[in-house]
Amino acid sequence: MSARPVPKSGILDISAYVPGKSAAPEGVKLAKLSSNESPLGPSPKAIEAFAGLASTLALYPDGSSTKLRSAIASRYGLDAQRIICGAGSDEILQMIATTFLAPGDEAIYSQYGFLVYKIIIMGAGAVPVIAPDTDLTANVDAFLERVTERTKVVFLANPNNPTGTYLPFDEVKRLHAGLPKTCLLVLDAAYAEYVRRNDYEAGVELVASSENVIMCRTFSKVYGLAALRIGWAYGPAGVIDAMNRIRGAFNLNAAAIVAGAAAMADVEHIDRAVAHNDVWLPRVAAALSAAGLEVTPSVGNFLLVHFPGTDGKGAPEADAFLTERGIIVRRMDAYGLPRALRITIGTDEENDRVTTAIAEFMDR
């Protein structure tokens, strides 16, 4: 074999992240319910801002994403200097791992947490540690039992994808109180806008009163801007300063900055998207339950649906049945849930299509 560059130790042990399917069979109308995208799409104001960039494409964007950080700060009453933006929350999470994890360190995440956590932990040369869930929900005691002197970061998706479950704020505070001051608690709140529970808090309050908590958010879900890859985080000044030292000079493009700022300011559009989800989330869950399926209660814009493993009515057969009809959902094998599918709440028509198709599948 000829000589060639070799990745550093551990890289080839990482299983690459595989996105959900996005195509239907030729000639079949697509209903893409695999990626938790917004069925209402982006704000018209964001579209207008995006279109207005045509004459400035030769220019570099603002490397500090000032307009976007200001819009976020204004919307939530935050200090813009403590906000950092990235190409999706994925890049924010990657920056956290690169900044705070070294070879031999440990980072903890929940059993059914976002698959990216393991990837970025291993990419930094650190050791991923899994805290088992209880009833598909993160367990604070399981996290705390696994904290050692080598634990430098804890990742908590709240609400969690793909389960749709969440931890009340009192439990999040209990988790934080049990961590060493030198351990960074990452609150990944990608679906926070959808949550309608009085005992939930996305993380702003805990960040404001702590030196070791950072909250991550995204524009890919309720804001309908997944194609532009926009994420942001709010954290302590020292944490944000350290992350900015390794952030790419122009890591967010100009379209993302202006469209994101416009989307953040269009509260009415976000309210419509949330109201749509409030109507359809329980309606779809009820229809799937009526078809004889177990549905995990969700506070996000998706449902984790569990299929029986017998009589040809398992998740793989259901996925194939739906795909033939142009309905694309997400298999959960990579999460260790081979009997489950994750289904995004879509448009009125898409929701009717998927519930009707699944009822037909179960009645075969």
Tell whether 114 is covered by a domain.
yes
**pLDDT tens column, 110-143:** 999 999 999 999 999 999 999 999 999 999 999 9
CATH of the domain at 180: 3.40.640.10
- pTM listed for this prediction: 0.94
Within a domain: 1: no
* Residues 308 and 196 grouped into a single domain: no
Q: Are residues 164 and 99 in the same domain?
A: yes
Domain shared by 106 and 154, yes or no = yes
CB atoms near residue 107 (< 10 Å): 27
- Residue 249 in any domain: the answer is yes
Residue 101 in contact with residue 153, Cβ under 8 Å?
Answer: yes
> Does 96 fall in a domain?
yes
Whether residue 303 lies inside any domain: the answer is yes
* Rounded (10°) angle between helices 348-363 and 267-290: 10
User: Does residue 210 sit in the same domain as residue 338?
Assistant: no
Which of 238, 265, 292 terminates a domain? The answer is 265
**pLDDT computed for residue 53 by the predictor:** 93
**What's the pLDDT at 11?**
81
Residues 287 and 229 in one domain: no
Q: Are residues 261 and 139 in the same domain?
A: yes
Residues 30 and 173 in one domain: no
Determine which helix (DSSP H) or strand (DSSP E) holds 88, and give its type and residue range.
helix 88-100
Helix (H) or strand (E) holding 76: helix 66-76
pLDDT at 310: 80
Identify the CATH number of the domain in which residue 322 sits. Answer: 3.90.1150.10
Last residue within a domain, chosen from 265, 290, 312: 265
Return the pLDDT at 120.
97
Residue type, 272: R
- Please name which of 102, 99, 105 lies closest in space to residue 86, comparing C-alpha atoms: 99
Report if residue 2 sits inside a domain.
no
Residue that finishes a domain, picked among 213, 238, 265 = 265
Cis amide linkage into residue 42, ω under 30° from 0: no
List, in sequence order, every beta strand (DSSP E) within 73-212: 83-86, 106-110, 127-131, 151-157, 184-188
As a whole number of angstroms, the distance between CA 315 and CA 85 comes to 37
Number of compact structural domains in the chain: 2
Provide the residue range defining the domain that includes 351: 11-41+268-363
Please check whether residue 97 lies inside any domain of the structure.
yes
My answer on whether 274 and 249 are in the same domain is no
Note whether 54 and 110 are same-domain residues.
Answer: yes
Q: Which positions of the chain have pLDDT values less than 50?
A: none
pLDDT value, residue 1: 53
4 occurs within a structural domain: no
Whether residue 49 is found in the same domain as residue 34: no
Q: Say whether both 119 and 223 belong to one domain.
A: yes
For residue 77, give every residue at least 6 positions away whose Cβ sits within 8 Å of its Cβ, in sequence order, or none: none
C-alpha–C-alpha distance, residues 186 and 155, integer Å:
5
Q: In this structure, are residues 155 and 109 in contact, taking their beta carbons and an 8 Å threshold?
A: yes
Q: Residues of the chain with pLDDT > 90: what percent?
A: 91
In a shared domain, residues 213 and 334: no
